[in-house]
Amino acid sequence: MKKIMQLSSLFLGLVMAGSVATAESEDGFKSISNGKDLAGWDGNPKLWSVKDGAIIGQTTPENPIKGNTFLIWTNGTTADFELRCSFKITSQNEKGFANSGIQYRSKVVDTAGWVVGGYQADFEAGKTYSGILYEEKGRGILAQRGQKTVIKDDGEKHKVEVTGSVGKSSEEIQAGIKSGDWNDYVIIAKGNHVQHFINGMLTVDVTDENSAKAPKSGVLALQLHAGGAMTVEFKNLRMKKL
């Protein structure tokens, strides 16, 4: 784990310095999107596309969705890994709502609707949820932004115990997130320990001891959230197995 954190700290330092690496220059990382089309991914073709190297999910007033839907990576699964990418999210509705996330260690629950459930590295156009750990179709919020938590093992039940802070408050983390612009996301999952980083800032640190429900492996997917016209973009998606 110490070695993992040292390598990740090096990458995060580059991010903070404004020099974002790509898979070709990062030891052990492989690109999981070709930047040209949706080869290796499965989702609703009316909602997902690729432009200028970025995967784009978009809803419009003429093409809305009633429930959350996902673009699912079909060339592998996630277990112990580190994922790095950049994201941008914007709202085109009067409420200003736009939410998305990166699903990992997840399972497909509705093939026809491209719906998955599991761990999600959340982000939004708002000021509250970017960086949290949310379990879609499961236990809900497992760590608010800025928290270190332990999910206690109690059979089929679960209890979220806040054990400390990641070193920055939710407000401080939000101040480092660029609204309507590109931001960098890092997800590290090793055993029952997961961490999220945005723009070099640790946002959550979670140890999931709920053996009955803690996902060990599963699919990777990108979320397009219901709730009004919005656009979400992802680029430079690359992953390394740990």
- DSSP class per residue in 152-174: EEETTEEEEEEEEE-SS-HHHHH
- 8 has a pLDDT exceeding 90: no
Per-residue pLDDT at 166: 98
pLDDT digits (tens, 9 = 90+) for 84-136: 999 999 999 989 999 999 999 999 999 999 999 999 999 999 999 999 999 99
> What distance in Å separates the CA atoms of residue 184 and residue 163, rounded to the nearest whole number?
26
Kindly list the distances between the CA atom of residue 136 and the CA atoms of 69, 93, 105, 116, in Å, as whole numbers in the listed order.
11, 23, 11, 8
Per-residue pLDDT at 158: 83
Per-residue pLDDT at 157: 73
- 156 has a pLDDT exceeding 80: no
Q: Please, what are the domains in the chain?
A: 2-241 (2.60.120.560)
pLDDT digits (tens, 9 = 90+) for 129-147: 999 999 999 999 999 999 9
Place of tokens 């590295």: 121
> What distance in Å separates the CA atoms of residue 113 and residue 67, rounded to the nearest whole number?
9
pLDDT digits (tens, 9 = 90+) for 201-210: 999 999 999 9
Give the global pTM: 0.90
